[in-house]
Amino acid sequence: MTDRKAESKLSREVVRNLTPDTPRTSGEKPVLSPVAYQIASQYAKDTNSPVMISGIMRIIEFLIIVLAGIAVFIIYVGPSASTLAQYSLAILATAVVTVVLLELTDSYQLAVMRDPFSKFGKLILVWSGAFAMMSLAAFFLKTSEDYSRVWFGTWYGSGLILFLVFRIVMSRLIRGWARNGKMERRAVIVGGGKPAEDLIRSIEQQPYNDIRICGVFDDRDAKRSPPIVAGYPKLGNISELIEFARIAQIDMLIVSLPITAEARVLSLLKKLWVLPVDIRLSAHNNHLQFRPRAYSYIGSVAMIDLFDKPINDWDSVAKRAFDIFFSVFGLIVFSPVILATAIAIKLESKGPVIFKQLRHGFNNEVIEVWKFRSMFTEMCDPTARNAVVKNDPRVTRVGRFIRKTSIDELPQFFNSLMGTLSLVGPRPHAIAAHTRNLLYNDVVDGYFARHRVKPGVTGWAQINGWRGEVDTDDKIKMRTEFDLYYIENWSLWFDLKILFLTPVRLLNTDNAY
């Protein structure tokens, strides 16, 4: 059995190679029951991710060690050029070793963060062990005489007090967040009946459980799947689950079906993989045994990872920092072009300089995207019902030039700063965008899977030539295929590559009108 990442990628390929059964939005939209809508609305706000909280704790505890060491150094030893570098190196090394030891001893697990009192002995031992290791290293390197013993002892004591106080404060905050729902992983159970009931009870029995079960969804009728499962209501069928997840901030879908029910599991995945959530298959009642690394766990409840939410937790923080930095950089570099374009548009025709259009964003949310106006005001098409074609009479002379050179997209740097767009990602399509009088999601099965990440100013499809008019089914199919490849293979280096290749590839203007 391969590791979880390989299995997750394999699952994607399996789903893609089948005939998908993605819910349509061009027809009637699934209508949630009043109860389901009320519950979904309660979970519409984001939560604090446990992964993010533990990461922030690592950073703060690193800083506590460093700042305590520097403060004692300044007070007792006194800052001097001859000793500053020497002491700084020791302080940084001790901070790194301490955080690494805390990590290796699982001191950043939720149970320890929530209740440090039960683990005080271990925390003090880890802290003392890190300082002992650094003392031993100094002894063997014959540098111990270069450091003040009073400084070292005072640093150890003051840092330990600050560390324990911080842990106590954070434990109170974490318990409060858990009580009021600000720190939890929201899960929906897919599939009802006895397997779902057993799974729910097993999850609820886990100590320090951060899973909040929001409800149960099942396609089967009430005879085979009762309306109440372990105290949780069945909120609808799988198509309604898609709509529920669009409203609620769901983190995880747990499929409570036996792994041997292969046909039904794959049928569910063909519908669910378009959502930006983790999808897990419960191994709670399965008798098949896999290698331990094939599983993830909720407490001691084993799960098989089928899909992971893309660009999540610290990856999303890194990508947001990337967007802000390069958006500010782009606005500075292109500010003369932006100013000149605004003046040219204003001089040629009446109307606003900026054209705002509603498009599909992350998780199918409707967002407003900015562009320089390239058409005569009275002929603008906010819905993009009629795509721009070659020699389109609606386009102004300035508009033809800025569309050809993609200068009309420069205001989207502001969208990126505001957070509605990312710099790199699948290009956002207009809500009414279509080909052959069919909406894109009617042409491409699994089309909405491209909305699992935030859309971008530029993207992998665009730099590979899939830009401009979409007048055939193949064009939107290829765009979607490149977008999905980007989502599955995302990294900051990939974003950087796309960003720097964009100006070069935009020199090919054959498909831009």
DSSP per-residue codes, 214-278? EEEE-SS-TTTS-SEETTEEEEE-HHHHHHHHHHS---EEEE-S-TT-HHHHHHHHHHHTTSSSE
The torsion defined by the Cα of 513, 503, 327 and 419, in degrees rounded to 10, comes to: 50
DSSP per-residue codes, 91-125? HHHHHHHHHHHHHHTTTTSHHHHH-GGGGHHHHHH
The Cα–Cα gap between 465 and 505 comes to 8
* 91 & 222 share domain: no
pLDDT by residue for the chain (513 residues), tens only, comes to 344 344 334 344 433 444 344 444 444 556 788 888 888 888 877 777 888 888 999 999 999 999 999 999 888 877 776 677 888 888 999 999 999 999 999 899 888 888 888 888 899 999 999 999 988 888 887 777 778 888 889 999 999 999 999 999 999 999 888 888 788 888 999 988 888 888 898 888 877 778 889 889 988 877 777 888 888 888 888 888 888 988 888 889 999 877 767 788 888 888 888 888 899 888 765 555 555 555 777 777 888 888 888 888 888 889 999 999 999 999 999 999 999 999 999 888 888 899 888 888 888 888 889 999 888 877 776 666 666 667 777 888 888 888 888 888 899 999 999 999 999 999 888 776 666 556 666 667 777 888 889 999 998 988 888 776 666 777 788 888 889 999 989 999 999 999 999 888 766 655 554
* 15 & 43 share domain: yes
Q: Which of 307, 324, 345 is the last residue of a domain?
A: 307
Write down the pLDDT at residue 511: 56
* 287 & 259 share domain: yes
* 246 & 333 share domain: no
* 73 & 136 share domain: yes
Helix, strand, or coil (residue 439)? strand
- Whether 399 maps to a domain, the answer reads yes
Write down the pLDDT at residue 188: 92
Report the predicted TM-score, pTM, of the whole model to 2 decimal places: 0.77
- Whether 77 maps to a domain, the answer reads yes
The Cα–Cα gap between 50 and 184 comes to 7
Nearest to 305 by CA among 330, 269, 340: 269
The Cα–Cα gap between 423 and 320 comes to 9
Write down the pLDDT at residue 385: 62
Please report, for residues 21, 89, 264, 466, the alpha-carbon distance to residue 237 in angstroms, rounded to integers and kept in the order given: 14, 60, 14, 36
Bridge pairing between strands 228-229 and 295-298: unpaired
Q: Which of 180, 198, 220 is the last residue of a domain?
A: 180
* 88 & 101 share domain: yes
* 147 & 190 share domain: no
* 169 & 202 share domain: no
Please report, for residues 331, 371, 456, 502, the alpha-carbon distance to residue 320 in angstroms, rounded to integers and kept in the order given: 16, 21, 12, 19
Domain that holds residue 243: 4-47+184-307
The Cα–Cα gap between 456 and 466 comes to 14
The Cα–Cα gap between 450 and 479 comes to 10
Burial class of residue 324 (count of CB atoms within 10 Å of its CB; 0-12, 13-18, 19+): middle
Bridge pairing between strands 301-307 and 278-282: antiparallel
Write down the pLDDT at residue 17: 45
Nearest to 315 by CA among 62, 98, 49, 500: 49
CA torsion sign, 343 to 346 to 351 to 357?
A: negative
Write down the pLDDT at residue 12: 42
DSSP 133: H
Structure tokens at 346: 């204003």
The tally of domains found in the chain comes to 3
- Whether 416 maps to a domain, the answer reads yes
CATH assignment of the domain containing 277: 3.40.50.20
Give the other-Cβ count within 10 Å of 432's Cβ.
Answer: 15
Please compute Rg for the chain using Cα positions: 28
- Whether 512 maps to a domain, the answer reads no
The Cα–Cα gap between 134 and 90 comes to 8
* 497 & 364 share domain: yes
- Whether 511 maps to a domain, the answer reads no
Instruction: Identify residue 102 by its one-letter amino acid code.
Output: L
Bridge pairing between strands 228-229 and 185-190: unpaired
* 319 & 385 share domain: yes
- Whether 513 maps to a domain, the answer reads no
- Whether 147 maps to a domain, the answer reads yes
Nearest to 89 by CA among 123, 56, 45, 138: 138
| Distance between first and last Cα of the chain | 51
Write down the pLDDT at residue 338: 93
CB 87 within 8 A of CB 77: yes
* 419 & 500 share domain: yes
Structure tokens at 360: 């599909």
Q: Which residues contact 380 (CB under 8 A, 6 or more apart)?
A: 351, 355, 373, 394
The Cα–Cα gap between 301 and 454 comes to 32
* 491 & 372 share domain: yes
Q: Which of 163, 180, 197 is the last residue of a domain?
A: 180
- Whether 510 maps to a domain, the answer reads no
